[in-house]
Structures are given as C-alpha cells and as structure tokens.
Amino acid sequence: MSAPPLSDDTGAAVTPRTPVRRVVSLVPSLTEAVAGTAPGLLVGATDWCSHPPGLSVTRVGGTKSPDLARVIALRPDLVLANFEENRPQDLEALRAAGIAVWTTVIRTLPEALDSLERALAACGRPAPSWLRRARATWEDVLGEPPAPVRRAAVPIWRRPWMALGRDTFAGDVLARLGVANVHADASQRYPRLTPRELASGAELLVFPDEPYAFGPQDGPEAFPGVTAAFVSGRDLTWYGPSLVAARGRLERALGLP
C-alpha cells in the first residue's frame, strides 16, 4: 500500500509503501538517527555506518559506491540518502527500480534538525526524545550565530591538503559555537590549499579524526606556530543522536567558555 506522496528536502515527490517497515540508509548519520529511534526499521546500511556500535544489518557497500542490487534485494519501503554523500545516478537507478528514495539536504544545524524530523516522519515515526534534547541543547544558537570569538581553519585531508570551505554543516556548527571558518567564503566547499594558504588568517587549526585521522603527530607539524585543537569528527560532522552531547565535547576540545 502506498501513502500520499511526500516531498523530500530536494522538493522531489516520494511515495513510500506504508506502513514503512523496511528502511535502507545510505548515510551514516541517518543510520544512527533511525537506529536511535526505531532500530527494527533498518534492514541495510553502508559499510561506513559505524553507529550505533554493534549494529547488525545487511551492509550494502559505500556511500559513493553502494551495491544497488543488494539494496533492491532487501525490498526496502524507503531508502534514506543525502544530496552530498550519495551520487545522483545511484539514487536515480534505485528510483527506476521502483524504490522510494528520500534525499536530505543538510548544510546547517537548523537544516539538520528540521531535516531529521521530516525524514523520520517519512519513516512513520514522530520526533524522538533525542531529537528534542538536541534542539534544546542548541536552542540558544539556532537563530543568528553568535559573534565569533576565534578564527579557525579546519583541515580535512592531507596529500593533498584540503580544508572546510563554504556551505558545510561542520562550518556552520563551528560558527554557532563562536568559531569563524577563515575559508567560509572559498569558491569550493572543500578547497585544496597549500599549508600556508590553509593556515592564513587562522589563530586555531581544528583537526578532526575523520575523514582523515589527524592526530598530535600527524598534521600539526605542517603548521608551526599555530595552535592546534583535536576534535571528534563525529561531533563535528555527524547529525543525529550525537548532537545531544556534541556541543559540550566540542566546546571543551576547542577551549571555549
């Protein structure tokens, strides 16, 4: 049985079979969100879906290279995807096979909270308690971000060096903590830069442990004289249940009041 069509974050009409009983997630953050809300719904997730620990579902490959035949064989009522993490041609192939695909568009913290509520509603689930707690945790900064107290650059890869640029969820999270991304006006979302370019104008370098696993001995040595802070990549880049505790952990790691 099909429900009336809904509109996902891209404005596309989505008509999942109802009630939704079988969900495949192609995005780690969305996997964690569904598992933290209604774990029995998940029948498939990517190889990169590491949370919650011990998740036991069929693995369907990577976010950029899912095994489409395996996804289709799982007979999902709904597939959850993201405009940035998944390739349009893969999502179109699933739709062509008669699979309902819900695509999220998340570039800011407010977008994330609203998008998660809508995606879970598409799964037939009301806003869970963890999502209400996440809203409450960040409520005071969901309007205009506060005035910046620090200027930072965020390396995300080396060989070649890459950094957070414009219109990224992680950059928005930092802005709402009072940390301005010096590359927020870059022409690309993840520009390739020399170490000198990357650190230019920054008083702080924020090193996450994913997608590149930066650490005290791997990263800061390329930027002598610039203060380094190390954060959980999950706290900085994941949207979902991790948002409940991410603010406090990030503030402590970044030395913010």
200 or 4, which is more confident? 200
How confident is the model at residue 1, as a pLDDT? 54
Query: How far apart are alpha carbons 156 and 208 in whole angstroms?
Result: 7
How confident is the model at residue 257, as a pLDDT? 82
Nearest CA-CA partner of 229 in 255, 248, 200? 255
Beta bridge partners of 155: 163
Do residue 116 and residue 21 come from a single domain?
yes
Residue-wise pLDDT for 140-168, tens only, equals 999 989 999 999 999 999 999 999 999 99
User: What is the CATH number for 34?
Assistant: 3.40.50.1980
Q: How far is CA 178 from the centre of its chain?
A: 20
Host domain of residue 52? 6-127
Do residue 171 and residue 246 come from a single domain?
yes
97 has a pLDDT exceeding 70: yes
Question: Per the structure block, which two tokens stand in for 39?
Answer: 């774990």
pTM equals: 0.92
CB-based contact 158:219 (threshold 8 Å): yes
How confident is the model at residue 3, as a pLDDT? 60
CB-based contact 252:143 (threshold 8 Å): no
Question: Per the structure block, which two tokens stand in for 80?
Answer: 């959850």
The domain total for the chain is 2
Residue-wise pLDDT for 35-71, tens only, equals 999 989 999 999 999 999 999 999 999 999 999 999 9
Looking at the domain assignment, is residue 14 inside a domain?
Answer: yes
Report CA Rg, the chain: 19
